[in-house]
């Protein structure tokens, strides 16, 4: 038993591709091979042109903080012990967005548009979560 008691992502045949790559420290997203649409969250059907001809690509893992919040109280119960923790929406340089935690920093220094980079947190033997930290200059 890992002792990790926070919610784990739902693993489907599609999300398994993403999380298997995370375990190898790779952040993957999709691009439509027909129309070029950048796609995340991963899908089977292109939300732009309805093609099913989608391919995986590896992100460089760099982006900017679109917005964030540092939760001090009233978190969902499984996260209460982690308070305060920083939750953010990141705009990746490749043109997709994801929700994540910001780690390895003083939360008081965070701001919108701050450059960040991915780090990988192996929370269980099966699941590695991509998180972000302020970009090393």
Pattern of binders to another protein over 88-117, x per CB under 8 A? Answer: -x-------xxxxx-----x---xxx----
Among 63, 68, 116, 118, the residue binding another protein under the rule CB under 8 A is 68
CA distance 84 to 115: 21
- Using CB under 8 A as the binding rule, whether residue 71 contacts another protein is answered as yes
Work out the number of other CB atoms within 10 angstroms of the CB of residue 86.
19
- Using CB under 8 A as the binding rule, whether residue 75 contacts another protein is answered as yes
- Using CB under 8 A as the binding rule, whether residue 122 contacts another protein is answered as no
Report in angstroms how near the CB of residue 119 gets to another protein at its nearest: 14
Number of residues located near another protein, criterion CB under 8 A: 43
- Determine contact, residues 55/114, Cβ cutoff 8 Å: no
Burial annotation 20-31 (CB, 10 A radius, 16+ → b, else e): ebbeeebbbbbb
- Using CB under 8 A as the binding rule, whether residue 119 contacts another protein is answered as no
Sites of contact with another protein (CB under 8 A): 6-12, 14-15, 18, 40-42, 66-79, 82, 85, 87, 89, 97-101, 107, 111-113, 123, 127, 129
């Amino acid at each position: 038993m890992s002792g990790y008691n926070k919610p784990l992502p739902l693993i489907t045949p599609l999300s398994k591709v993403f999380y298997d790559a995370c375990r190898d420290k790779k952040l993957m997203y999709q691009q439509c091979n027909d129309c070029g649409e950048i796609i995340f969250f991963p899908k089977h059907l292109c939300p732009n042109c309805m093609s099913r001809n989608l391919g995986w690509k590896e992100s460089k893992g760099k982006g900017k903080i679109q917005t964030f919040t540092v939760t001090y109280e009233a978190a969902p119960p499984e996260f209460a012990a982690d308070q305060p923790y920083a939750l953010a929406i990141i705009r990746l340089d490749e043109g997709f967005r994801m929700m994540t935690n910001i780690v390895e920093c003083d939360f008081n220094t965070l701001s919108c548009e701050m450059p960040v980079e991915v780090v990988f947190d192996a929370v269980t033997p099966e699941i590695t979560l991509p998180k972000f930290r302020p970009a090393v200059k």
